[in-house]
Amino acid sequence: MNKKFNDTFLRAARGEQTDHVPVWYMRQAGRSQPEYRAIKEKYSLFEITHQPELCAYVTRLPVEQYDVDAAILYKDIMTPLPAMGLDVEIKPGIGPVIANPLKSLDDVEKLGEINPEQDIPYVLDTIKLLTQEQLSVPLIGFSGAPFTLASYMIEGGPSKNYNKTKAFMYAQPDAWFALMEKLGDMVITYVKAQIRAGAKAIQIFDSWVGALNVQDYRTFIKPVMNRIFSALKEENVPLIMFGVGASHLALEWNDLPLDVVGLDWRLQISEARGMGVNKAVQGNLDPAILLAPWEVIEEKAKAILDQGMAQPGYIFNLGHGVFPSVNPETLKRLTSFIHEYSASRLGK
């Protein structure tokens, strides 16, 4: 590593004062980058992740192009599921499809456990390559959360309403809690292996948990999330929670033993603070705004930054992932604006 290590993101995640607001973008690796699209013409997502040198390059690319303050490992939340016995394929234009979805307690009991060193050595090798040789910013590892993983495992693929998942949860609570137990164990084992390999922070994606109301979240999800974060807390790296359309769960997340509450664009940072969210926050520009004229992007980013900077512990991000149609130059310009504007305000 030639450049001095930039730990601004880690300090903000711990709630410390920083001299500028750190920024990274969900799905910053790939999608909109021409270099990535050229790679995707030759290899599938799973094929890229099985080649540590190539995967490290894809992970590193946005750090070098945009000057962001953190990298996020290029992989998919489905990565650990084949080791548990699920037949997973990521179909272009559809997303993850599982050929053998879960229907009963018997199906849940047949699920295997993950041994990261044996089952996903390529993920750990990629992390080591990045953190030991290539990155001058922290690497964020991640995992899907039990509800979101369960939704794919039960629905057999993406869903708009999660009816099968909720029906499974309500009609077969014994099977549901057995599944949460297995997925909780998997997430803890999987994430600890990423941290041991060199990941400096972890984001748990519960992308679709917003489909549940607060009471159901407390009953069916919060116990396993509490167990996961309590176990990961021992590793002493910042822990981030994120979901989409889950503003009504922000206080539930704030209550968990994690460090950063990730917000999508539906809840303003000032509103979250007003509700009682007192942990570090991350977010939350609507990614659709990246397709607007620069003046609009700057105005919206400035408003979010002003709210975020009102107290220490703020990381700029999008309210969800980068679209394929976003111009990489826009992300580069936005990163530069965030750094300069926040430095000018925080330096006063």
> Does 260 reside within a domain?
yes
Q: What CATH number is attached to the domain comprising 228?
A: 3.20.20.210
State percent of the chain over pLDDT 90.
95
DSSP code at position 256: S
> Residue 32: its pLDDT value, please?
85
| DSSP H or E run through 262 | strand 260-262
> Does 153 reside within a domain?
yes
Tally of domains in the chain: 1
> Does 2 reside within a domain?
no
Strands 95-98 vs 88-91: parallel, antiparallel or unpaired: antiparallel
Residues 264-278 have a mean pLDDT of 97
Residues 169-175 have a mean pLDDT of 98
302: nearest Cα among 263, 334, 259, 261: 334
> Does 3 reside within a domain?
no
> Does 58 reside within a domain?
yes
> Does 1 reside within a domain?
no
Predicted confidence band of residue 279 (pLDDT cuts 50, 70, 90):
very high
Strands 280-285 vs 314-318: parallel, antiparallel or unpaired: parallel
Give the residue carrying structure tokens 């400096």.
200
Q: Give the span between the Cα atoms of 145 and 284, in whole angstroms.
A: 20
> Does 213 reside within a domain?
yes
Q: What is the DSSP string of 63-102?
A: HHHH--S-EE----TTTTGGGGT--EEEETTTEEEESS--
59: nearest Cα among 33, 85, 94, 77: 33
> Does 120 reside within a domain?
yes
Contacts of 321 (CB under 8 A, 6+ apart): 25, 26, 27, 31, 287
Predicted confidence band of residue 93 (pLDDT cuts 50, 70, 90):
confident
> Residue 57: its pLDDT value, please?
96
Q: What is the pLDDT of residues 293-314, one digit of tens each?
A: 999 999 999 999 999 999 999 9
Q: How far apart are the first and last CA of the chain?
A: 32
Average pLDDT, the chain: 96
> Residue 1: its pLDDT value, please?
46
Largest CA distance in the chain: 62
> Residue 223: its pLDDT value, please?
98
**pLDDT surpasses 80 at 46:** yes
Domain around 30 = 8-346
Q: What is the pLDDT of residues 199-224, one digit of tens each?
A: 999 999 999 999 999 999 999 999 99
**Cβ atoms of 256 and 225 closer than 8 Å:** yes
> Residue 347: its pLDDT value, please?
77
Predicted confidence band of residue 31 (pLDDT cuts 50, 70, 90):
confident
